[in-house]
């Protein structure tokens, strides 16, 4: 093993409350019902635009009527989130120690996220300065996960082959991403998807906590 790549939300950090605040900021502007923590946890995984679209369909199906209006709501959400990227976010217990251990062994570390790249960079700079060799969120022109393009690009940039790398995530999207890339993938159940939700998607979780993940790696 030469490199380990991680999803960000639900894998390294609990970011639900910050995403929830941004989603609800947009919903409130259109008099929508606020989304709960568990609902937002379910919305995320395929990019922030998709998360808000799901929130609108469930919480205010008649309040945002056309694409232009939705684009304004999305811009509102993103403006709030860029100004409050990590007010409530915290690393999962054991994550800082795991990253320190891997880095101390000379393992190359990366983050591949479907979240807006600017927000990803701000969050990683706050919690993990100088830890990762590769960090990327959503970039214009690059497809979102589960398309493997960004993960494969990350491998190339850190100089690791597919069979020398591991990808760690917390959702069905991450499992599919790793599969498409041909990279060994570990799926955790302490993040945004419960063991039951993963099982419903046909996925058996590999680690229930960071301790188990550390042992596997």
- Which of the residues are catalytic? 7
Q: How many CB atoms lie within 10 A of CB 100?
A: 11
Please name which of 78, 86, 80 lies closest in space to residue 122, comparing C-alpha atoms. Answer: 86
Contact 167, 134 (CB under 8 A): no
Q: Under 8 Å CB-to-CB from 196, ≥6 apart: which residues?
A: none
CA distances, 132 to each of 9, 26, 128 (Å): 16, 32, 7
């Amino acid at each position: 093993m030469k490199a380990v790549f991680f999803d960000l939300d639900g894998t390294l950090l609990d970011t639900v409350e910050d995403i929830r605040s941004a989603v609800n900021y947009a919903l409130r502007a259109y008099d929508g019902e606020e989304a709960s923590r568990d609902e937002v946890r379910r919305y995320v995984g395929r990019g922030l635009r998709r998360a808000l679209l799901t929130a609108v369909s469930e919480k205010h199906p008649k309040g945002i009527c056309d694409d232009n209006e939705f684009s304004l709501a999305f811009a509102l959400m993103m403006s709030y989130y860029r100004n409050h990227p990590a007010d409530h976010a915290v690393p999962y217990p054991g994550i800082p120690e795991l990253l320190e251990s891997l880095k101390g062994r000379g393992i190359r570390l990366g983050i591949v996220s479907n979240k807006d790249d600017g927000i990803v960079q701000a969050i990683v700079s706050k919690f993990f300065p100088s830890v990762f060799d590769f960090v990327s969120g959503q970039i214009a022109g690059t497809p979102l996960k589960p398309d493997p393009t960004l993960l494969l690009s990350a491998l190339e940039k850190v100089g690791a082959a597919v069979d020398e790398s591991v990808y760690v995530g917390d959702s069905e999207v991450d499992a599919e991403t790793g599969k498409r890339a041909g990279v060994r993938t570990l799926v955790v159940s302490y993040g945004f998807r419960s063991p039951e939700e993963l099982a419903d998607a046909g996925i058996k979780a590999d680690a229930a906590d960071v301790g188990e993940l550390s042992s596997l790696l």
